[in-house]
Amino acid sequence: MEITPIQTIITTLTSLRDVATTFAQGFSLSIEDGANSARGVDQATTLFGNTGIFTTVTNVMLFIVGAISVIMIVIGGLRYVLSGGNSSNVTAAKNTILYAIVGLVVAMLAYAVINFVIESFLPGSGGGGGTNV
């Protein structure tokens, strides 16, 4: 019985799959382990969690976006009051208020998504990844 080239390819791919599976079973690291192994000597040791770098940066950026949104809502309100009945100025003021509120909503949704992703990668948090077998 002669071995066809397709059978050779299938046998080779099966062997490669078995080698890759065996190789991958030796590594049961989480995302946090990967981030910690890439950390330099003078960098912070806590990347995740309530006091981690990612959480701190996210909170600071959310605060900045919230402060800018409140300032833009106040500016839009002042533009609305000072428009003097001019329809183009009223429309511009309403758009300023609307876009500030939309920006605030987008920032809050981004905060929720970031927290969900960070929590899902933490081991022991009940998320989808990061389990060591």
> Tens digits of per-residue pLDDT, 30-40?
666 666 677 77
Segment among 32-36, 56-60, 128-132 with least mean pLDDT: 128-132
CA 117 to chain centre: 6
Q: Supply 86's token pair.
A: 């001019």
User: Average model confidence (pLDDT) for the chain?
Assistant: 79
- The secondary structure element, H or E, covering residue 15 is helix 5-25
- Residue 107's pLDDT band, with cuts at 50, 70 and 90, is confident
- The answer to whether 118 and 27 are in contact (CB under 8 A) is no
pTM tops 0.75: no
* Mean pLDDT (whole number) for 32-53: 69
Q: What is the pLDDT of residue 123?
A: 60
Cα separation values, 40 from 1, 44, 131, Å:
59, 8, 24
Q: What is the Cα–Cα distance from 40 to 24, expressed in whole angstroms? A: 26
**For residues 47 and 52, what is the distance between their CA atoms, to the nearest angstrom?**
4
Tokens 């605030």 belong to 104
Closest CA to 98 of 75, 82, 81, 124: 75
Compute the half-sphere exposure of residue 72: CA atoms within 13 Å on the CB side of its CA.
Answer: 18
